[in-house]
Amino acid sequence: MFSRCVDGLKSWRAHRMAWIHVLPDNAVLHEGAVVIVAIGPSWLAIAAPCRVTKVVDLSELFSFTYATLPGHPEQGEETFLITRSADGEIRFEITARSRPSSLLARFSGPIGRRIQVRVSRGYLRELRRFVQD
C-alpha cells in the first residue's frame, strides 16, 4: 500500500478533484518541475503556478515540496509526506505555510483559509480513493 500511495503522489492523483487539476496533465514530479494547479471550473479557474523544490524518495518515506511562483494567489510552500513506520502504519501529512499575495487572497480572509483546509482534505480523500481502487 505504501508504494501505491507514493505512486498517487508522483502522478498528482491527490491533486485531481472535480474542481482542481494539475497542468500539464502528464506532469512528471521531479525537482524543478513547474506545474499549474488550476482551481475552479475550467471556464473560471484560478491558476496557481508552483515549482517542485524538493523530492525525497526513500524506502519508508516519500515527500515533495512545492513553492508558489508569481501569479499564484498565495506566497509560500506546501510539503506532502508519506511515511511507513516499522509496524507498517502509513501516514500522509501535508504541511503548508503561506500568506496572501494577491488582492483576491487578501480580501478572502477567513474564507481563503477555509478553502485551503478544504483543498488539503480533498488531497487526502483523493489519495485514499486512488489507493483503494
Q: What is the pLDDT of residue 113?
A: 75
Q: What is the pLDDT of residue 98?
A: 80
Q: What is the pLDDT of residue 105?
A: 65
Q: What are the boundaries of each domain within the chain?
A: 2-132
Q: What is the pLDDT of residue 102?
A: 65
Q: Please state, in angstroms and rounded to a whole number, the distance separating the CA atoms of residues 101 and 70.
A: 9
Tell me if the bond preceding 24 is cis, omega within 30° of 0.
Answer: yes
Tell me, which fold does domain 2-132 have in CATH?
Alpha-D-Glucose-1,6-Bisphosphate; Chain A, domain 4 (3.30.530)
Q: What is the pLDDT of residue 6?
A: 97
Q: What is the pLDDT of residue 117?
A: 81
Q: What is the pLDDT of residue 120?
A: 87
Q: What is the mean pLDDT of each run of 10 residues along the chain (133 residues)?
A: 95 91 94 94 88 97 97 91 96 88 68 79 93 89
For the purposes of burial, counting CB atoms within 10 Å of the CB of 59, is it exposed (0-12), middle (13-18) or buried (19 or more)? exposed
